[in-house]
Each structure stands twice: as C-alpha cells, then as structure tokens.
Amino acid sequence: MFPARPPRQNPQLCQACRQPFLEEDELGFDFCGRSACLTRRQLERPELNQLRQAREARWLEVTQRRTAPLLDAVLSRLETPASEAVTGLVPFVDRPLVPLPADRRASFETHLRQVVDNSFTETPEGSEPLPPKDDPDYAQRAADEAEEPSVLNAACIACRGDCCLPGGTHHAFLSARTIDRFRWRHPSARAKDVISYYLAALPDESVQGSCVYHGAFGCTLKREDRSSICNTFLCWFRRELDKDHARKPGYGEVVVAIARTHTQRQEEDAPCVRVVSVAEDGVLTEHTDLKLPALSDVELAPFHAALSAVHTVKEERKR
Ligand code: SF4
Ligand code: SF4
C-alpha cells in the first residue's frame, strides 16, 4: 500500500516556529500543532486547506502512477506477489557530502558548550544528574535506544534522512537533558570530556545543510548519545510502513524514495528516485538500474491545476 499522502516540500519544518512538525500533524499545513502556531493554522481559510489537500492527493496520484512500474519490477525480481510485501513511498534526500563549514561548526560548538554548561550548572561535576520525572531509571529512553530490525529501516535507508535536515538548524536537537543522559551513563565524565566526546563524533563530511552528525551512512552518533527526538521520531510514511509491516509480519519491504519535485523533472530516468528492498532476514538491495519513466503533460495536468488553485487563493490573501 502507498501512503495516502505525499511528502512535504519543505519537510518537517513549521513555517511559524521553524521547528519540526509534530508526529500527529496532518500533511498539507504550513503551521504545526504547537499551541503558539495552532492559532495561525486555524486562521488559514478552510477553503485553502481543502485546496491543499486536493493538491496533495493529485501529487500522490501522479507519483503512484509514475513509480508503479518500479515497484512491479522489484516485486517481479523478488518473485513476490504484491500481497506478500510491504511497499510504500518515502521522501528522498540527495544532497552532497561536504566538510562542515567553519561558521556552522563554530555555531554548533557554541550550542554544545551551552547545553553542557547548563547540565553541569544544574548538577555539578561529581554528582549524578537525575533522570526525568516521567522516565525514572531511563527505562523508556533505553527502550527507544534499542536498534530496530533492518527490515523496518528500509524506509530510512531509501530516504537517507529527510527528518535529519532540520537538525542542521537545531544543533542536532542536543539539549541539557541529552547531556544528563550521557552523564548518567558516564558518571565520572567532566564537562570537558563530554564536549570532547561530542566533537569527536562529528563526521569529516556531512550532508550539506543538514544535521552536523548526518554522515554518509546515517547518523554518526550512537543512539544512546542522541537527543530523545532522534530516537523516537518517525515520519508519517515510516509509521504507515511500520503499521503495514505489523499487519504482514514475516514479509520484506520495497520502498521508493522520490523527490517531491519529481513533477518538475518529466524526462525519463530523472535522477530523483531511489528504490530499495529489504528482505525480512535483513538482506538489502538498492535497485540502481531501475529508471523512472517519463511524465507527460497530460498526466501532470490535474496536479498543476490543483497547484494553481492553491496559488490563486494564496495570492488573494495577500491583497
Ligand atoms: S523517518 Fe525515515 S523515512 Fe521518514 S523522513 Fe526520517 S529518515 Fe526519512
Ligand atoms: S543527531 Fe543523528 S538522528 Fe539526530 S538529527 Fe542529527 S543525524 Fe539525525
């Protein structure tokens, strides 16, 4: 089953608070459901929201049609009927790996020193930070840190970390609470040890503009050293795939990562797709030989019409 809604164009960032969208937020809105932003969302005209939903539905239709041959090809290759596989769409990240620019590294280091300082101000060196009241002994946190079966990671492997992009502007979501957790596991760690540890974990190259720890093969921080949100957040697409997998235990996954903007690349073999299959036993295959078919103007017309309708109403609002 494909998910019912397509990826956000600017994934996960609320246009008001610039924080990642909440898991429960519906797609198609500009503002998240935090109380400070909810009012702005509610002020949006209902008809605009309906038009946005229509635009997303048209995008999904055209995307499903375009990616269907790729899914069929992989299922045929695996000799697996569609009813015996979990299939879906996910976002697509295709940014280059670059050395972290000096200004971004300096900004991150300033943030790191601040959150470490906050942690040690609350509980000085030699005393152990207390776990949060709602998670005494970090039992929930430890459960969230557990590695997941590879088959469930098919989505993220294909996507390559769309939800890590906001980590670039939020300093890997590190907070004093993350540092408390680190110190709880390393009670003798001094402030300078913690800073050295987190700086040493930075990759030589990271995904351009993304989180400082977003390396070539994913996150370079161990799960237990990440912010809680990094271990708990799953985008809507991944959650849909997980739900489908729970309904079909024992089956592998076939995932198509595709750029939201594929509609602007109508040519055959447009470089904005990645197809990955992961068998239940964890065997992973990236099907690099599969080509995205061309997209005709006729196929695109309903999406363009829906896009135009949203644009028209937005322009009217500005007057
Ligand atoms: S949860 Fe996985 S599939 Fe979803 S945006 Fe993050 S990396 Fe991509
Ligand atoms: S710390 Fe790791 S998981 Fe968290 S946003 Fe950065 S790269 Fe992603």
Q: Which tokens is 126 given?
A: 């030699």
Q: Is residue 3 a part of any domain in this protein?
A: no
Q: Are residues 116 and 182 in the same domain?
A: yes
Q: Is residue 240 a part of any domain in this protein?
A: yes
Count the domains in the chain: 2
Q: Are residues 184 and 108 in the same domain?
A: yes
214 Cβ closer than 6 Å to some ligand 1 atom: no
CA of 153 relative to ligand 1 center, distance in Å: 9
Q: Which tokens is 33 given?
A: 């459901």
- The domain of 40 spans 35-91+235-318
Candidate from 156, 226, 235 with most ligand 2 atoms within 8 A of CB, to mutate: 226
Q: Is residue 258 a part of any domain in this protein?
A: yes
Last residue of a domain, one of 201, 232, 263: 232
CA of 157 relative to ligand 2 center, distance in Å: 14
Q: Are residues 144 and 67 in the same domain?
A: no
CA of 237 relative to ligand 1 center, distance in Å: 7
Q: Is residue 112 a part of any domain in this protein?
A: yes
Atom index in ligand 2 nearest the CA of residue 213 equals: 7
State how far the Cα of 49 lies from the Cα of 28, in Å rounded to an integer: 7
CA of 263 relative to ligand 2 center, distance in Å: 29
C-beta separation of 43 from 260 below 8 A: no
C-beta separation of 235 from 12 below 8 A: yes
pLDDT at 236: 84
236 Cβ closer than 6 Å to some ligand 1 atom: no
Ligand 2: which residue has its CA nearest to atom 8?
Answer: 164
Atom index in ligand 2 nearest the CA of residue 220 equals: 2
- Cβ neighbours, 10 Å, residue 311: 12
CA of 258 relative to ligand 1 center, distance in Å: 12
Q: Is residue 10 a part of any domain in this protein?
A: no
Atom index in ligand 2 nearest the CA of residue 218 equals: 7
CA of 11 relative to ligand 1 center, distance in Å: 10
161 Cβ closer than 6 Å to some ligand 1 atom: yes
Q: Is residue 280 a part of any domain in this protein?
A: yes
CA of 91 relative to ligand 1 center, distance in Å: 7
Classify the C-alpha dihedral 205-206-211-217 as positive or negative.
negative
pLDDT at 116: 98
Last residue of a domain, one of 192, 210, 232: 232
Q: Which tokens is 143 given?
A: 């459960």
Q: Are residues 86 and 110 in the same domain?
A: no
Q: Are residues 133 and 247 in the same domain?
A: no
Question: For the complex shown, is ipTM > 0.95?
Answer: yes
255 Cβ closer than 6 Å to some ligand 1 atom: no
Ligand 1: which residue has its CA nearest to atom 4?
Answer: 235
Q: Are residues 195 and 221 in the same domain?
A: yes
Atom index in ligand 1 nearest the CA of residue 156 equals: 2
Q: Are residues 176 and 256 in the same domain?
A: no
Last residue of a domain, one of 204, 232, 260: 232
CA of 223 relative to ligand 2 center, distance in Å: 9
CA of 296 relative to ligand 2 center, distance in Å: 38
pLDDT tens series, the chain, 319 aa: 222 333 344 446 788 888 877 766 766 677 888 877 877 776 666 778 789 889 999 998 999 999 999 999 999 998 889 899 999 999 999 999 999 999 999 999 999 999 999 999 999 988 888 888 899 889 999 999 998 888 888 899 999 999 999 999 999 999 999 999 999 999 999 999 999 999 999 999 999 999 999 999 999 999 999 999 999 999 988 998 999 989 988 888 999 999 999 999 999 999 999 999 998 888 899 999 999 999 999 999 999 999 999 988 878 777 7
Ligand nearest to the CA of 12: 1
> Interior CA angle at 136 toward 126 and 176, to 5°?
55
Among 242, 127, 241, smallest CA distance to 191 is for: 127
Candidate from 162, 223, 231 with most ligand 1 atoms within 8 A of CB, to mutate: 162
Q: Are residues 118 and 198 in the same domain?
A: yes
Q: Are residues 103 and 58 in the same domain?
A: no
pLDDT at 1: 28
Atom index in ligand 1 nearest the CA of residue 159 equals: 8
pLDDT at 280: 80
Q: Is residue 160 a part of any domain in this protein?
A: no
Q: Is residue 8 a part of any domain in this protein?
A: no
State how far the Cα of 242 lies from the Cα of 33, in Å rounded to an integer: 23
Contacts of 21 (CB under 8 A, 6+ apart): 8, 12, 13, 14, 32, 33
What's the chain's Rg over C-alpha atoms?
Answer: 22
